[in-house]
Chain A
Amino acid sequence: MARAELTALLNPRLAVRKRIGAVAYVIFIAAILLGLAGLAALLLRVLWQGAPWLSLHFLTDYPSRFPEQAGMKSAIFGTIWIMGLTGLFTVPVGVGAAVYLEEYAPKNWFTRIIEVNISNLAGVPSIVYGLLGLAVFVQLLAMGRTVIAGALTMSLLVMPIVIIASREAIRAVPSTYREASYGLGATKFQTVKDVVLPHALPGIMTGTILAMSRAIGEAAPMIAISALVFLTFIPTDPLDEFSVMPIQIYNWVSQPRPEFRGIAAAGIIVLLVVLLSMNAVAIYIRNRTQKRSEE
């Protein structure tokens, strides 16, 4: 009793200040709940509207004007093509750039330019990459609106993600490992190849998966390159035309017939399942390696 009264005497506004604090706490929690509620509403809405349209034929049929027959086969195969080639282009170059910046680069103005440049590239809107691909790959190099042009565009788009993640992974390899390797007489390249990269591999993989999950959902740059939505064949080589899942979904959402909203939602479910499982794998790898390094 005495203590509470003493505090009140010394600081008459304390009770009010504490009450303001409590109100603010409620506001903070409300902000978090708002974010979580938004996420929940989005996922539930998609599930509720899309689930009735999900079926096996949805995965194995081509797009159609008739909602009952519409499927996303060509979009799924287009996405697989784009993802595969994007990985093929992005990973070697992205990891190579990360190795250069962490292990080889001298500290000079040009290195500084490369670093600033990479962080700025990560902020360039994806549609601008689409315009780059349209001007350079489709027109200038005369690739046309093909899988290869799409994949090259996508590689440039996600390259900064791979570089930034790989650099962090390489930086986390203890320098004692490198010194031990040099001490055994290994060359710099042998050290990078046999010591640094194997230890940085989980981080590099995590970054690559995250880059791929960004790429799989990108519609804007692919629209600039592909511009095809109703494709009734699957690409068989890199010089074929293509569509991808997000473009297909975009097309369905913008159809006037209400049934297509449901089909769009079904497409979104497929896309989100793939995307969230990729993220889960990335988080799993990250957690496993974190645990190992803590031991």
Chain B
Amino acid sequence: MDTTTRDGFAAPMGQRRPAMQLSRNRRRGALQGRIVHWLFFACAAMSVITTFGIVASLLSQSLGFFREIPIWDFLFGATWSPILRDAEGNRHYGVLPLVSGTLLVATIAAAVAVPAGLAIAIYLSEYAPDKVRRTIKPVLEVLAGIPTVVYGYFALTFVTPLLQSLPVPYLQENLLVFNALSAGLVMGLMIVPMVSSLSEDAMVAVPRSLRNAAYALGGTRLEVSIRIVVPAAFSGIIASFILAFSRAIGETMLVTLAAGATPRLTFNPVESIQAMTAFIVQLALGETPHGSLEYNTIFAVGLLLFFFTLGMNVLGHFLVRRFREEY
């Protein structure tokens, strides 16, 4: 018999031993081993139960919503006012303004974080001496550990006034107190470490021999970095962009505090918008009675948000794994 995971013993078991005491101990050990095995299994299964719980709770509450609002109107309607009634006394449940608000902020964030994160990753992986690298990395990682409510405070009380004071007439005249631009810029700062550390991991994994070959052909350091290392690590780098973007979409407190609460189908960054997550917080803060249409609305938006981020994460992890197998 060989080592096995099923019973309590892992050591190879010899022949039956004569001592009764030992065999009784062993039997007790085997039983204990089985119980422990199942306890550990139950712990691991908790994660599957959690996922099941998320999907089930989002779906079941959304069902109440979709019974009253056709799913088509929800997904493709261009007006979102689930609380306030318009002049005719109607409420509107078209989620597009929330989606556009979320995407607007996340796109601005990506416009900051993708070039900056990639540049930092190239520097850390290809240029920086070991000592510099070991000091800069943890400092940048502090950025990733700061609570998002702090970023919200920073965007609202520092970045927005700063942007308004810039010598740009358009910003001075049009930038609102709550706007997508400052929320997006600060969110970019927040996700830079995510892009840079995941991209750097991908670049460090590129074999030394590829670089040496390129240097032997006379490439400069930049040429080796951009034309050899970056393409070789490409799927890992793209994965870092996708995972960071998904993080930006799910981010809550920053957009709640700094981007506003006015759902509007616009791609103008100086305007006030409302993100999906910010809407959920807005309604969760109010006294929404359990089971009401308003209450169910936040689950419908949550479900959409969940599918958005899940899709991007699955794609991101798929790319990371695929890339790992290459070398």
Residues of A within 8 A of B (CB): 11, 17-18, 20-21, 24-25, 27-32, 34-36, 38-39, 41-42, 45-46, 49, 92-97, 99-101, 103-106, 113-114, 116-121, 123-132, 134-136, 139-140, 156, 159-160, 163, 178, 182-183, 185-189, 191, 213-214, 216-220, 223-224, 227, 246, 249-250, 253-254, 261, 264-265, 268, 271-272, 275-276, 279, 283
Contacts and interface: CB of A to CB of B under 8 A. Distances in A.
Tell which of B147, B299, B310 has the most Cβ of chain A within 10 Å: B147
A127 B116 contact: no
Nearest to B147: A217
B305 A127 contact: yes
Interface string B143-183: 10111111111101110000000000000000000000000
Tell which of A118, A188, A264 has the most Cβ of chain B within 10 Å: A188
A101 to B, nearest CB: 6
23 contacts: A21-B220, A32-B136, A93-B43, A101-B44, A104-B40, A105-B44, A114-B47, A125-B251, A125-B252, A125-B305, A131-B54, A132-B50, A134-B284, A187-B8, A189-B29, A189-B32, A213-B145, A217-B147, A219-B147, A223-B281, A227-B285, A253-B149, A283-B138
B197 to A, nearest CB: 12
B306 interface: yes
Interface in B113-137: 115-117, 119-120, 122-123, 127, 136
A120 B156 contact: no
B15 interface: no
B10 interface: yes
Interface stretch (B57-65, B69-77, B91-99): B57-65
Given A100-B43, A220-B277, A227 B139 contact: no
Interface in B14-41: 29, 32-33, 36-37, 39-41
A17 B219 CA distance: 9
Interface stretch (B207-215, B242-250, B263-271): B242-250
Contacts of B142: 39, 276, 279
Contacts of B67: none
Interface residues of B, number: 93
B116 A93 contact: no
A283 B247 CA distance: 24
B307 to A, nearest CB: 10
A121 B192 contact: no
Interface of B: 3, 5, 8-11, 29, 32-33, 36-37, 39-48, 50-51, 53-54, 57-58, 60-61, 115-117, 119-120, 122-123, 127, 136, 138-140, 142-143, 145-154, 156-158, 189, 192-193, 196, 218, 220-223, 226, 243, 246-247, 249-253, 256-257, 277, 280-281, 284-285, 290, 298-299, 302, 305-306, 309-310, 313-314, 316-317
Contacts, number: 278
Contacts of B299: 131, 135
B280 A136 contact: no
A113 B222 contact: no
Contacts of B251: 125
A104 B37 contact: yes
Contacts of A178: 10
Contacts of B29: 187, 189
B192 A35 contact: yes
A190 to B, nearest CB: 8
Contacts of A94: 43
A158 to B, nearest CB: 12
Contacts of A119: 313, 317
Contacts of A35: 116, 120, 140, 143, 189, 192-193, 196
B58 A128 contact: yes
Given A126-B250, A182-B11, A99 B153 contact: no
